[in-house]
Amino acid sequence: MNLLLYGAPGSGKGTQANMLRTHFGIPHIATGDMLRAEIQAGTALGRQAQPILAAGQYVSDEIMIGIVRHRLGKPDCAPGFIMDGFPRTVPQAEALDDLMHELGKRFDRVIYLKVPVEELLHRLSGRLVCPTCQRTYPPQTTACAADGSALVQREDDKPEAVRPRIEIYLDKTVPVLDHYRHERLVSEIDGRGTIDEISSQVLAAVNGKHSSPLMGKSPAAGRAQGALPEKPGDGAKTKTA
Ligand code: AP5
Ligand code: MG
């Protein structure tokens, strides 16, 4: 089972990836987590990446493609994996196609978590993360449920980095969705609702019980279908992701 989680910063990719890795027993490959681990370890890559992440910008395609190539070649990915945070640009998507082809793999589903910008801003400003295992938690959580570590705020969740992250997503990452739409792999899910509600919809999509577009039966899902443009060119660039 090879899955790709797609969505804006704060849309819930990491949250749902945690659920999927427990459910399917396959690794969660999160490029942001990998970069933060390099920063924490003080490697040359970490020193290069730190100011880029802090400013909410993207690390170069060349570096990111190299990281993912190395990771997907590891044996634990053989039964499948959950990709989160890559590809973020069209060149990354094209490189991933080539890499998947080389490895004899294909994606079973692309899950697009669609959340309005106002909700993203609200979530990111309150999010807490475990510095040990990188799991994410809502505000007021005191300790990591997995390892008991005290939770911290991510450097790029500070207000000055959050808007640039959403802007660069709209500019560089929204076009990546079309890449997968052409392959009819995308399940759109309204990312508003409780974490458990979204998890049920994600699992239904992965298990092929629903197949896009826009899943979810709540009134919020209905509103989203009519009110959430996907691309900057569709209007309301600052309102939607
Ligand atoms: P990355 O770590 O991938 O960050 P991101 O894409 O900005 O996404 P986030 O991790 O912020 O959000 P998420 O969707 O995982 O949401 P979460 O589940 O935590 O990348 C960081 C940086 O690394 C990038 O900015 C870039 O600099 C660099 N980078 C990484 N990959 C790169 C690449 N391929 N190319 C170039 N540069 C790259 O949820 C957020 C919060 O909401 C949490 O508090 C959670 O508890 C809460 N929440 C989740 N679901 C719900 C819900 N349904 N209702 C209410 N709250 C919820
Ligand atoms: Mg994440």
Mutate to test the pocket of ligand 1, among 136, 152, 165 (most ligand atoms within 8 A of CB): 136
Say whether pLDDT at 217 is over 50.
Answer: no
DSSP 13-80: HHHHHHHHHHHH---EEEHHHHHHHHHHHT-HHHHHHHHHHHTT-PPPHHHHHHHHHHHHTSGGGTT-
What digits encode the pLDDT tens for the residues 9-66?
999 999 999 999 999 999 999 999 999 999 999 999 999 999 999 999 999 999 999 9
Q: In the predicted model, what is the mean pLDDT of residues 204-210?
A: 82
Going by C-alpha positions, the residue among 80, 74, 68 that lies closest to residue 23 is: 80
Say whether pLDDT at 219 is over 60.
Answer: no
Question: According to the model, what pLDDT value does residue 136 have?
Answer: 86
- CB of 15 closer than 6 angstroms to any ligand 1 atom: yes
The torsion defined by the Cα of 31, 33, 34 and 39, in degrees rounded to 10, comes to 130
- CB of 85 closer than 6 angstroms to any ligand 1 atom: yes
Angstrom distance (rounded) from CA 73 to CA 188: 29
Angstrom distance (rounded) from CA 194 to CA 207: 20
Q: How close is the Cα of 181 to the center of ligand 1, in Å? A: 22
Question: According to the model, what pLDDT value does residue 145 have?
Answer: 94
Angstrom distance (rounded) from CA 105 to CA 93: 14
Q: How close is the Cα of 104 to the center of ligand 2, in Å? A: 27
Take atom 17 of ligand 1 and give the residue whose Cα is closest: 12
- How buried is 7 (Cβ within 10 angstroms: 0-12 exposed, 13-18 middle, 19+ buried)? buried
Q: In the predicted model, what is the mean pLDDT of residues 95-108?
A: 97
- CB of 137 closer than 6 angstroms to any ligand 1 atom: yes
